[in-house]
Chain A
Amino acid sequence: MRKSPFIWLLSVIGFIFPGLNVLAATPLIDVEIKNHLFIPSEIIIPENTKVKLVIHNRDETDEEFESYELNREKVIIGNRKGIIFIGPLPAGEYPFFGEFFPKTAQGKVIVK
């Protein structure tokens, strides 16, 4: 019997998005943006592990979380939160900054 296109689609989705199944196991780290500062400004995560960053923007103004080293970039609108998955990464320091207030909004992810 021929498989229906729908079953095919479901198996393709299941194959492409295995990440959905392991979501619960991912460590979660909350970060705040307050007065254009990241709190905490140093985030320590284990080596070779995927981590879910939940960034709460407590300021009225928007901020863009940006890091060339982490390969991440995301606008977090004022008084809202944003989610960014990072890692797995080799040990080292990965600076990040707030694109709109780079003078104060600085931080780094330390992978040990």
Chain B
Amino acid sequence: MLLNSVIIVLREVLEAALIFSILLALSKQSRIHRTWIIWSLLIGLFGAVIYGINIPLVSEWFDGVGQEVVNALMQYAVYIMLLLYIIILLLYASEPAPETRKLLVIMMVLITSIAMICEGAEILLYFFSVTRSAHHYAAVMMGMIIGASIGISIGFLFYYLLMNICEKWSMIFGLGLLILVSSGMISQATLLMIQADWLPAQMPLWNTSDFLSEKSVLGQLLYALVGYEATPTALQASMYLGGLILPVFIIVLLKLKFKG
């Protein structure tokens, strides 16, 4: 139960913490003042509590699959906004206009706050369920605190890593990591849509459970970091791959345009 709660909370916190720390590092390099964090924390925390409290109601929507659908839509929205963010960031890097800066800040606030609402509500739901239900809840609380601390620490670690390597590399590394995390979100959102029967179900493409089980600690960590799945369907795998390729394609295209 303790390890379980560590992993559940770590998984949710890690995603949001990584997105937060990468955006923070990249915005600092674009000389954007960090006041935007206050807005995203405010909107994110407030939104997470509102959504978390209402999950029992939301889950009744769409014939009992409301929570899956709403979560998946939020994750798809975060992905699309991350694409827009990358485009605006590159535009801003080549021509730093105040309007572009404003757009960049708005995108960052939206992305981080929606990610926080999505992940935060999951944690709250788990917290409420455990306090209502489980017997050993001191252990669970302990696990949740440990999980959150590990997630936030990894976020800080990446932030300082990105701040301490040269600007060019930190841009490449930061964007690369951002693309990996967001493709993982696309893959999870697609799985939720399949679970809710909003996207067509298929036989799994392959099964790598024997090689690396999703139950193992490494499997769980890779799931959180890059959306590892042992038995993906064709749709899920192609969404993941498409999610990886599209931003890389956009970045290369924009880079060529600015050079030419």
Residues of A at the B interface (CB closer than 8 Å) are 16-20, 23, 26, 48, 50, 52, 54, 61-64, 68-69, 71-72, 74-75, 77-78, 80-85, 87-90, 99-102
Q: A62-B129, A71-B191, A78-B132 are in contact. Are A83 and B200 (CB under 8 A)?
A: no
Provide 19 A-B residue pairs closer than 8 Å at the C-beta atoms, listed in order of the A residue.
Answer: A17-B199, A19-B197, A19-B198, A20-B197, A26-B197, A61-B134, A62-B133, A64-B129, A69-B231, A71-B231, A74-B67, A74-B68, A75-B55, A75-B126, A80-B56, A81-B64, A88-B203, A100-B129, A100-B134
Task: Contact check, A16 vs B199: say whether CB atoms are below 8 A apart.
Answer: yes
Q: Determine the chain A residues whose CB is within 8 A of the CB of B197 once the complex forms.
A: 19-20, 23, 26, 50, 52, 85
Residues of B at the A interface (CB closer than 8 Å) are 1, 4, 55-56, 59-60, 63-65, 67-68, 125-126, 128-130, 132-134, 191, 194-204, 209, 213-215, 229-231
Smallest Cβ-Cβ distance to B62: which chain A residue:
A83
Task: Contact check, B195 vs A62: say whether CB atoms are below 8 A apart.
Answer: no
Q: Determine the chain A residues whose CB is within 8 A of the CB of B194 once the complex forms.
A: 85
Closest beta carbon of chain A to B76's beta carbon, Å:
11
Q: Give the CA-CA distance A71 to B207 in the complex, in Å.
A: 11
Task: Contact check, B133 vs A19: say whether CB atoms are below 8 A apart.
Answer: no
Task: Contact check, B229 vs A71: say whether CB atoms are below 8 A apart.
Answer: yes
Closest beta carbon of chain B to A28's beta carbon, Å:
12
5 tightest A-B CB contacts, nearest first: A61-B133, A62-B129, A83-B64, A85-B197, A68-B214
Closest beta carbon of chain A to B70's beta carbon, Å:
13
Smallest Cβ-Cβ distance to B196: which chain A residue:
A85
Closest beta carbon of chain A to B91's beta carbon, Å:
26
Task: Contact check, A87 vs B201: say whether CB atoms are below 8 A apart.
Answer: yes
Smallest Cβ-Cβ distance to A77: which chain B residue:
B56
Q: A62-B133, A82-B59 are in contact. Are A74 and B198 (CB under 8 A)?
A: no
Q: Determine the chain A residues whose CB is within 8 A of the CB of B55 once the complex forms.
A: 75
Q: Give the CA-CA distance A78 to B55 in the complex, in Å.
A: 13
Closest beta carbon of chain B to A54's beta carbon, Å:
8
Closest beta carbon of chain A to B126's beta carbon, Å:
8
Q: Determine the chain B residues whose CB is within 8 A of the CB of A87 once the complex forms.
A: 201
Q: Give the CA-CA distance A62 to B65 in the complex, in Å.
A: 17
Q: Determine the chain B residues whose CB is within 8 A of the CB of A102 once the complex forms.
A: 1
Q: Give the CA-CA distance A21 to B5 in the complex, in Å.
A: 38
Q: Determine the chain B residues whose CB is within 8 A of the CB of A81 once the complex forms.
A: 64
Task: Contact check, B129 vs A19: say whether CB atoms are below 8 A apart.
Answer: no
Q: Give the CA-CA distance A69 to B209 in the complex, in Å.
A: 8
Which one of B4, B126, B201, B215 contacts A85 once the chains associate, using CB atoms below 8 Å? B201
Q: Give the CA-CA distance A68 to B228 in the complex, in Å.
A: 12
Looking at A16, A19, A71, the one whose CB has the most chain B CB atoms below 10 A away is A71
Which one of B134, B191, B201 contacts A50 once the chains associate, using CB atoms below 8 Å? B201
Q: Determine the chain A residues whose CB is within 8 A of the CB of B59 once the complex forms.
A: 75, 77, 80, 82
Q: Give the CA-CA distance A26 to B197 in the complex, in Å.
A: 10
Q: A62-B129, A83-B65 are in contact. Are A89 and B199 (CB under 8 A)?
A: no
